[in-house]
Amino acid sequence: MRVTISQSMISGSIQAPSSKSYTLRALMCAALADGLSEIESPLYADDTEAGREALGKIGVAISEKDGSWLVSGGSFRQPDSELFCRDSAGTLRFMTAICSLVPGICRLTAGLSLSRRPIAPLVEALRLLGVDCTTDGSAAVTIRGDLLKGGTAGLPGDISSQLVSALLFIAPRAEEGMSIELAPPVESKPYIDMTIDCMKKFGIRVGRSSDDMVFEIKPQAYRPARYRVEGDWSSASYLLALGAVAGDVHVFNLNRSSLQADREILTLLKRMGADLQVRGDGVRARKARLKAVKADLSDCIDLLPTMAVLAAAAQGESILSGISRARLKESDRVAAVKEGLQRMGIPVREERDSMYITGGRPAGCAIDAKGDHRIAMAFSIPGVLAGNTVIEDAECVTKTYPDFWAGLKGLGGEVVFDEQ
């Protein structure tokens, strides 16, 4: 699908969608709990549907009632077919670990964009724990699971927090418990905190060292729970950025005390001089003259596209660092952001772990989203400023925010859809 965006005055209120990260985490915890759990306000999107489908194939019954998901967990069976994880990295990594508890053989596969994202360190860690686990070098993984003995496993801390979360999920089910040791540097710590927070809601306690390099988990039983999913700060970042550069937007359904890494967008917008009002569960962002910023995104790497397009509309040169892991997302986001901004006439230069962006007046052009939801949503922001902007492959937003284009239109965005 192609979306054409004209210059638009943005104004109105909009609800942030539910958190993808917390929806997936709640699903995994509920699947590991013996009994019936309820997940309230889950996110309906491609990534979470991938998680539901994979869990269903190993015997976890998931039904819907009044906008909630009822999850009957605690016991697993060998699937009748492969577990296709779509392009959901969280599903692939979390399910790789959980399949070590499934009696029999599980084979996990994934979509094309996921095949370039790291899974081998998790496979090696599971092997150290005694799991018969192999990968063909892409995203395909085969696990012969049963009882998990446990022990000590090491992981690099700077590849993906999802690898750490995957082991954390299964650690309480290990007969001997588990010790997870991370090699520095450790990045995206907030996502590890989110996992531990979600596990706590299902009755699990995780011990951790003061430097967050070692996690000790004793054998424990997950307890069924009623879990309410909070709003997604990652998705909200595009909406708040729209208000900050193009109008007046009130985003609600946001937890100001959230552990989500991308809550950092509030701090970064304030540093750029944005006009923000925070009240209750809402944040109002109004158009203001933005200034350049220096920002380390190593703990909130998904904010790179949002911060890059904000920098394009700010005065001066912004420096975004800690970005190297963004090259291994749904697309090479460093390259995709640079290409898009340069096409809009914005000067950009990059180093391995940094990007330098000189703000100006973005010009309309065609943007290739590279099949990446965050690139598509981020470039709608300069699109409403410049007009005459076309986003190719715009349907990729269904991965985490299926209603994004409808939401933009509801805020006054002049959006035309071409199904091609």
Active site residues: 302
Tokens coding 48: 């979470």
Query: For residues 300 and 51, what is the distance between their CA atoms, to the nearest angstrom?
Result: 23
Query: For residues 365 and 339, what is the distance between their CA atoms, to the nearest angstrom?
Result: 11
Q: Contact at 8 Å (CB) between 322 and 301?
A: yes
* HSE-up of residue 225 (Cα within 13 Å, Cβ side): 22
**Burial of 210: CB neighbours in 10 Å, binned 0-12, 13-18, 19+:** exposed
Alpha-helix residue ranges (DSSP H) falling in 153-202: 161-170, 189-201
82: left (phi over 0), alpha (psi -120 to 50) or beta: beta
Q: How far is CA 356 from CA 124, 368, 379, in A?
A: 36, 21, 17
Beta-carbon count within 10 A of 387 CB: 16
199: left (phi over 0), alpha (psi -120 to 50) or beta: alpha
Residue recorded with tokens 């990729």? 396
Residues in the chain: 420
